[in-house]
Amino acid sequence: MRLLRLVPDDTKFGFMRFRPWAFLASTLVSVFTVIGFLTLGLHVGIDFKGGTLVELQTKQGSANISELRTRLAAANLGELQLQEFGGPNLVLVRYGEQPGGEQGQQAALRRVRAVIDADYEVRRTEVVGPTVSAELVQMSVIGVMLSILVVLIYLWFRFEWQFAVGAMVATVHDVVAIIAFYVITRSDFDITSIASVLTIIGYSLNDTVVIYDRIREMLRKHKKMPIGELLDVAINSTLSRTVMTASTTFLALLGLFFFGGEVIRGFTASMLVGVIIGTYSSIFIAAPVLIYLGLRSGGFGATAPRDESSAEPALQKAKA
Is residue 122 one of the residues assigned to a domain?
Answer: yes
Could you tell me how many residues make up the chain? 320
Task: Let me know whether 144 and 233 are in one domain.
Answer: yes
**What is the CATH number for 259?**
1.20.1640.10
Q: Which pLDDT score is estimated for 270?
A: 92
Domain end (from 113, 128, 143):
128
Q: Which pLDDT score is estimated for 303?
A: 38
Domain end (from 128, 156, 174):
128
* Rg (alpha carbons) of the chain, rounded to whole number: 27
Domain end (from 69, 98, 128):
128
Beta bridge partners, 80, equal: 95
Is residue 312 one of the residues assigned to a domain?
Answer: no
Task: Let me know whether 20 and 164 are in one domain.
Answer: yes
Task: Let me know whether 28 and 63 are in one domain.
Answer: no
Is residue 317 one of the residues assigned to a domain?
Answer: no
**116/77 Cα distance (integer angstroms):** 14
Is residue 93 one of the residues assigned to a domain?
Answer: yes
Task: Let me know whether 101 and 137 are in one domain.
Answer: no
Q: Which pLDDT score is estimated for 131?
A: 59
Task: Let me know whether 251 and 225 are in one domain.
Answer: yes
Task: Let me know whether 34 and 175 are in one domain.
Answer: yes
How far is the CA of 224 from the CAs of 161, 218, 233, in angstroms? Answer: 21, 11, 14
Which is nearest to 110 in space by CA: 228, 244, 102? 102
- DSSP H/E element including 132: helix 130-158
Task: Let me know whether 287 and 161 are in one domain.
Answer: yes
Can you spell out the DSSP letters for 245-304?
HHHHHHHHHHHHHHHS-STTHHHHHHHHHHHHHHHHHIIIIITTHHHHTT--TT-SSPPP
Give residue 102's domain range. 51-128
Is residue 162 one of the residues assigned to a domain?
Answer: yes
Can you give the pLDDT of all 320 residues of the chain as single tens digits? 455 566 666 778 888 999 999 999 999 999 999 999 889 888 877 777 778 888 888 888 888 888 888 888 888 887 777 877 777 888 888 887 777 777 788 888 888 888 888 888 888 888 776 556 667 777 877 877 887 788 778 878 877 788 888 988 998 899 999 999 999 988 888 878 888 888 898 888 889 989 999 988 888 888 788 888 999 999 998 888 888 889 999 999 999 998 876 668 888 999 999 999 999 999 999 999 988 888 776 555 443 343 433 334 433 443 43
Total tally of structural domains belonging to the chain: 2
Is residue 10 one of the residues assigned to a domain?
Answer: no
Task: Let me know whether 266 and 141 are in one domain.
Answer: yes
Task: Let me know whether 59 and 29 are in one domain.
Answer: no
Q: Which pLDDT score is estimated for 13?
A: 85
Task: Let me know whether 200 and 264 are in one domain.
Answer: yes
